Each structure stands twice: as C-alpha cells, then as structure tokens.
Structure 1
C-alpha cells in the first residue's frame, strides 16, 4: 500500500513538473526605448502600426534592430519632437510621458533626447527654408539656443536619474545625436547653409554632444557616442547616415536613414556585449 501511494505521488509530481510553465528568468528581458525623432526614425519605412503617426516610429529604428538581434521584449515610446519634458512630465501625441513605460522589471533603457530642448534640427530647418526661398521660415534665435545648451545636460541627467529610480536594475544607455553637418568640409548641394550658418551649427552639434556625455558620467549611465562614430557620415558624405535638407519624397530632412539606424544599433549591441 505504501509503495502504491508513493508511486502515485511521484507520478503526480512528474505531471506537475511537465505542466509547469517556463521559469520567469527564461522570458525575454524588457527593453524600453525613449527619445526624440533620432530614436524614432520618421520617414524610414515601414513605420510601426498601431502607434501615433505623429511619432514616426520605424520598424527599422535602432531600438527595433537591437531588440530583434538580442531577443529583447521592446516597448518603444520614442516620438518625433520629444523634449526632456515629454519624457518626464508632459504627454505627447495622445500618449503619456515616456517615463511611464519604465517599470521595475525593465532591464535595458536607451535614451536619445535633448536636441529639441535646444532647437537644433529646428534651426537647420529654418536656415534651409530661408536659403531655398521658402515662405514663413521664421528666425533662429542664437542666443536662446546657446542659453538652452548651458542646461540641457542637467535635463538629460534628470531623465537618467528617474529611470534609475523606477528601474534600479536597468542598464541605461544614452545615445547622442548622429552628425548632420560636415565638421570640416564646406556644405554641399542639398545642405543649404552659408559658411557662417554652418559654423554656428557645428558649434551647436559639438555642445549638444557634450551634454549627454556629462549627464551619463554624473548619473551612472553608459554613453553610446553616435556623434563621433558618424563624423565621416554626415549629410554631405559619400556614405551618409543622414538625409539632406533636399531629400526624396516621404523622407524627413536632416534625419537618420537606414544606414544610420543600423550603425547606432551596432554601437549599442557592442556595448551590451
């Protein structure tokens, strides 16, 4: 009798083990991508379905490429036009602040932010409009841009700090902005900037690249130096990672192309190894 009961118990236990779902540790690690258009990938087809069209999230943006290659469970809340406020406090395109996607079980976060806080691409659009005979182009307030550049590292730092608070075990990668204008060569056809405007935009780009580096160092994050890696792949380069102001229909001027997103994904993957 005792032996029969023991055998039954053992058999039941074996069935229970076979029915037990895989351990939680086997589930894909949760990855949250936050940031502005240089993370979202507007104009790069195909765009993600079921997401706000205004955000312009591509299925080939760097977060999607990283998640696919590493087997990660991606939550992509990137959105074109986002500022640090849109990550921390202000909703955008009918979506809540991006930070709400970060939870305690998040294991990886990537951030590309700060360019819209200082009006970087906006200033390039304004000059492009002015120099190609556009209407209602507006003006570039250089003093305002330079003032914003003095504090943007603190705003990026506040984003990193809040990620750490919400997800203490997450690895945080701060990805700076891909290079748009040539660093030493003159501007080319399709990049309508005067030499004086080009010098100003180089200043903005250099100072904007410094901000995430300072923030990452101060707040215990890892910098992914996309700006330095793309120095020879600006919009005027032979192998550009960036669209020109004059670009094909459907593409977004002065924004990353497929090659740029692939390059950033490779930089991130290298850091993860």
Structure 2
C-alpha cells in the first residue's frame, strides 16, 4: 500500500465526511482483539461485559458505520491475548466468550488487533516505570530485560508470531471467505526523547520500548502477509502523535489522561485515525 494514498484518504476523512459509499461491499463484520481495539475509557462504554471496556467509538464501531454493514459483532476485550481467541476470558461482568466463536461462514470482513498482551505490555509499562524512577537519565529497564545476556522482550516478540499465525488460521477455517485486516498498534512513545514523569520511562528506555513496539508491529505484519491477510500500520502514521505530545495532538494518552481514555491507550482521535487507515486498507485491497 502506498503511504501517499493513505495520507490523501485521511485528509478527506479529516473533513468529517462519511466515506462509506466508496468502499467495496462488506455485509457481515466481526471485530476481534484487545484493548487497542476495544477502547477502554472512551465514551460510550457498552458494558457487554463491562470488564471488556468496549467503546461504541472504537475503530471497529466507526468502521462498521462507515461501511454500513448489515451485521456487526465487536467481541474485542481489554486484556485479551491470543489464548482468548479460542478460550473464554474472565473479566468483570464476564466471561467474554472465545472471540472466534463470533465467526461463521457468512462473515466477509474480520479485523484483528492482538499481540500486545502476549508480550506483556502492561507488565513492561509497570516495570519500566518502576526502573525509570531509579535512574531517569539511563536505561535501567533495558538493562533489566537484557541482564541474562538475551533480550527477553525480543524473544517474546518472536514467540508471538506463531500464536498470531494460529489465530489467523482459526479465522480462515471459521470464515473462509472473509477478508482479514490485521491492525497494528499506534505509536505509544516517541522514538528518542520521552516525557518523564508524564510517562516515567528513563531517557534511554523510551527508545528501547519504541523499538519493542516497532518489532511487534513488524512481526505481526510479516505474519499477516504470510497468512494472506492485510496489515494496517497505524504506527507508521503516528509520528508526533504519541503519549508525550500535547493534549490536542496526541492519539495515545499518558499515565494521567487529559482526554477520555485509559492510560497508555488510544483516545477518540486515535481511534478515528485507526478506523480511517483500516477503511483505506479495505478500500485499496481486494
């Protein structure tokens, strides 16, 4: 996909026109994934179940409205891993059923955002924040994860590829005629200088974490392409829209959100951009 084409389409989306008429048909759509699909903290939460923290303004819901699909099931759930594609997820008000149970032979569009919890995004954020307080100018979190002589997070990223591949295989078996759009993660932190203490990563760990996220997106993209799915790359387009940017420019919130969203998660603006990129990918692929 050509970046210039996507930029042009997003420019059109920024005018708030609804682009549904130009998109190829999609009748029955199922959205799968974790919190970066569900949209925790973004109004309005639909409480099905409450612990999934699923918003009616997340990117799947916006995409469904733009495409004017006949049926739409959003079974994404905050905290989901690849395990929860085929097993129930216990959450407040749950359980959330196995996400792949929403699929059937009639489904012709599936989106999937997954992998962050498999590598331990929450644990990494907590650990790097804890280590950052000890040495704000160094790279204590990177040292922590590489103290054995191996990069633990690089190993986790490599290990997630077969898990995503199995998920994609499961989707194809249940919905053999569906187009599958695998959606990556928005840029969370800048590639160099961070914003301690708003995001309390040490100076050297900001770039380290950004590298882990880039590796996860790249691994996910390669796995998607190998499986015959299409990859949507929000990271590429979100330079200068990370959690360290001003309130009116960022697409991911810091630890103390100023826009309605969970900490270190997309806000409504970020979800709209991801919806636009996903719509564009659907438009430009067959």
**Unpaired segments ≥5 residues, structure 2:** 1-24, 135-140, 146-150
| 1:46 maps to 2:56 | no
| Matched-pair contact (CA < 8 Å) for 2:30–2:72 | yes
SS at 1:116 equivalent = coil
Q: Distance in 1 between matches of 2:236 and 2:259?
A: 29
SS at 2:108 equivalent = strand
Shift in alpha-carbon separation, 1:152–1:128, aligned structure 2, 3 A: same
Q: For 1:213-261, what per-residue CA distance to the aligned partner results, in whole angstroms no more than 9, with x for missing partners?
A: 1111110000000111112211112410000012249641100000100
**Unpaired segments ≥5 residues, structure 1:** 1-26, 134-138
Which residue of structure 1 aligns with residue 115 of structure 2? Answer: 114
| Matched-pair contact (CA < 8 Å) for 1:128–1:245 | no
Instruction: Compare 222-231 and 247-256 and name the one that shifted more.
Output: 247-256
Q: For 1:108-162, what per-residue CA distance to the aligned partner results, in whole angstroms no more than 9, with x for missing partners?
A: 00000000000124311333356569xxxxx996254332111212211111111
Q: 1:62 aligns with which of 59, 65, 75?
A: 59
Q: For 1:51-85, what per-residue CA distance to the aligned partner results, in whole angstroms no more than 9, with x for missing partners?
A: 01110000100000011111122101000000001
Alignment RMSD: 2.2
| Matched-pair contact (CA < 8 Å) for 2:33–2:80 | yes
| Matched-pair contact (CA < 8 Å) for 1:121–1:254 | no
Which residue of structure 2 aligns with residue 29 of structure 1? Answer: 27
- In our comparison, the structure showing a higher alpha carbon Rg is 1
Alignment of 1:196-207 (within 5 A): 196-207=204-215
Q: Distance in 2 between matches of 1:154 and 1:147?
A: 12
Shift in alpha-carbon separation, 1:188–1:129, aligned structure 2, 3 A: closer
| Matched-pair contact (CA < 8 Å) for 2:52–2:96 | no
| 1:126 maps to 2:138 | no
Q: Distance in 1 between matches of 2:258 and 2:239?
A: 23
| 1:255 maps to 2:265 | yes
Q: Distance in 2 between matches of 1:170 and 1:75?
A: 14
Q: Distance in 1 between matches of 2:278 and 2:259?
A: 30
SS at 1:111 equivalent = strand
